[in-house]
Amino acid sequence: MDKQHISQFIKNALSEDVGDGDHTSLSTIPSGTKGKAKLIIKENGILAGVELAVEIFAEVDSLLKVDVLVGDGAEVKIGDIALVVSGSTHSILIAERLVLNCMQRMSGIATKTNRIVSLLKNTKTKLLDTRKTTPGLRYLEKWAVKIGGGVNHRIGLYDMILIKDNHVDYAGGISNALNAARKYLIDNDKSLQIEVEVRNIEELNQVIEAGGSDRIMLDNFNYTDLKTAVKLIDGRFITEASGGITEDNVVEYAACGVDYISMGALTHSVKSLDMSLKAY
């Protein structure tokens, strides 16, 4: 966990939510009131965001006591209690919604990721996330993918060169884009992997003729063309299949022999896992 990144995220989120005070709690609950609350799971799945929740409670009030009963990555079922928090009721109520929003979304992502990773267990293919994330929540969403058993692709535009269709078109072709990227890395003394997206076998051959890249993304290939592409690459470069891949067809795509499958749906349209924080 990147503590600095998480701390800034929590501060920003609390500022957005609390403003100049939780006036409902301040007006209805006497100052100094103490209490307990338990986080109850209301839907089966994979739990994620527990470690983050502990940080949120601590940021809100360092005197809050959190007893973690179920950790990140654990399989949970309806009725399970993930954690118990005790201390100032005002502090608990300030933290409540941020904890739930984060844990529900992260658990939803981890659950979906884990389900697909399980489908791929008898293949060599690993599951990747993408940059199709919620602005401001990318770190949390990619963290949840890892908890669910997936693999993080690049975090942003800065940690890998990924030459996609628009780059190819703007650069005047795959060879131009690849050569320019290699020169850029040398000129700027940077050590970054280069991945190239190809849309068909013809473009794949252009990449191979241009000397290849660290990874080749085979975008929107059908099964037949994907098998042909994997055979042409013949283990010389890492392969990634992307586009049109769902939970229903992911095993068929993996059977084509690719090293990775990337799915934007892991983060861009996932259903949150239901849970609640209840006083007791």
Cα 246 to Cα 272: distance, rounded to the nearest angstrom:
18
Closest CA to 83 of 34, 48, 112, 59: 48
| Cβ atoms 32, 63 nearer than 8 A | no
Cα 204 to Cα 225: distance, rounded to the nearest angstrom:
11
Cα 183 to Cα 174: distance, rounded to the nearest angstrom:
14
Locate 252 and state its tokens: 């068929």
The amino acid at 109: I
Which residues are known catalytic residues?
97, 132, 164, 197, 219
**Other Cβ atoms within 10 Å of 3 Cβ, number:** 8
**Backbone torsions φ then ψ of 39, nearest 5 degrees:** -90, 110
Cα 110 to Cα 125: distance, rounded to the nearest angstrom:
18
Cα 272 to Cα 41: distance, rounded to the nearest angstrom:
12
Locate 51 and state its tokens: 């470690």
CA 194-198-203 angle, 5° bins: 110
Burial class (CB in 10 A: 0-12, 13-18, 19+), 256: buried
Locate 270 and state its tokens: 């996932």
What is the SS3 assignment for 156-172?
A: CCCCCEEECHHHHHHHC
